[in-house]
Structure 1
Amino acid sequence: MDTGDNPEQAAGGLPYQEVTRPEYATIAASAFTAEQAGPDVTVLRGPCPRCGAVIEALVVADVFQGVRSFGDIIRGRRAAPQPGEHVEPMACTCADEHPTRPEGRVGCGAYWKLLLTTEPA
């Protein structure tokens, strides 16, 4: 994560920056939890891989039956999802203070994609 001994963060907060890194998806896949909130709704919850703030994202699906396990959420560098998989774009949505964040935006600017796997119907 970009937290901890980061001098920019210590000097007034981690600045807003629209950025992604390959490790963001890996960090999120290992740290996030998935909870079924309804028949077609999964809540993903965990720390932003850039700023560390805990965030939530709702995944609403009409075809997917739910996340099988978080161990299966990210699978290397496959070019396209296979049947029963879904690529979910994610972004930090924290309310923490991040200098230089444009008005009307939320989060620290980090974004990534998770590969979600589902159980067959």
Structure 2
Amino acid sequence: MTIAQHEPAPYAETTDPVYAARAAETFTLRKAGPDLLVLSGPCPRCAAPLEVPLPHMVFRGLDGILSLFRPSQPRPASDVRDEPVVCACEEHHPDRPEGRKGCGAYWMLRISSSDA
């Protein structure tokens, strides 16, 4: 049995509320150093694996952060940050401009900057 090959999505600088919803369900957040967190998950448009470093965000711990990926647990506005995420995959995407990475998808992902 073989896995069917599909054509890669053509490059398009685009966003959709579905991208943020999918990323909120599938991305994980891990501490990679004292002042570095890394978001990991599949691009919601092209499904390529992504790792997005967040070096400018300092957290006191990780408990409760991942709950922000679940909209059923609201947080106070001062405890939440919208982080821009851009697909920077290495996969081939037709029509991608020279020198660029990714499929062109971008979205905002809500995470906590003070709960952890």
Provide TM-score, normalisation by structure 2.
0.80
Per-residue CA distance 1:90-118 (angstroms, 9 max, x = gap): 01010000000000000000000011014
RMSD in angstroms over aligned alpha carbons? Answer: 2.6
2 CA distance for matches of 1:74 and 1:92? 21
Look up the SS of the partner of 2:38 in the other structure. Answer: strand
Equivalent residue for 2:34, pick from 29, 34, 39: 39
1 CA distance for matches of 2:51 and 2:67? 18
Equivalent residue for 2:24, pick from 20, 25, 29: 29
Q: Percent identity?
A: 45
Deviation at 1:66, TM superposition (A): 5.0
Provide TM-score, normalisation by structure 1.
0.77
Runs of 5+ consecutive residues of structure 1 not aligned to the other structure? 1-8
Aligned residues: 110
Look up the SS of the partner of 2:78 in the other structure. Answer: coil
Tell me which stretches of 4 or more aligned residues in structure 1 moved more than 6 Å. Answer: none
Q: Tell me which residue corresponds to 1:52.
A: 47
2 CA distance for matches of 1:25 and 1:66? 24
Runs of 5+ consecutive residues of structure 2 not aligned to the other structure? none
Q: Tell me which residue corresponds to 2:69.
A: 73
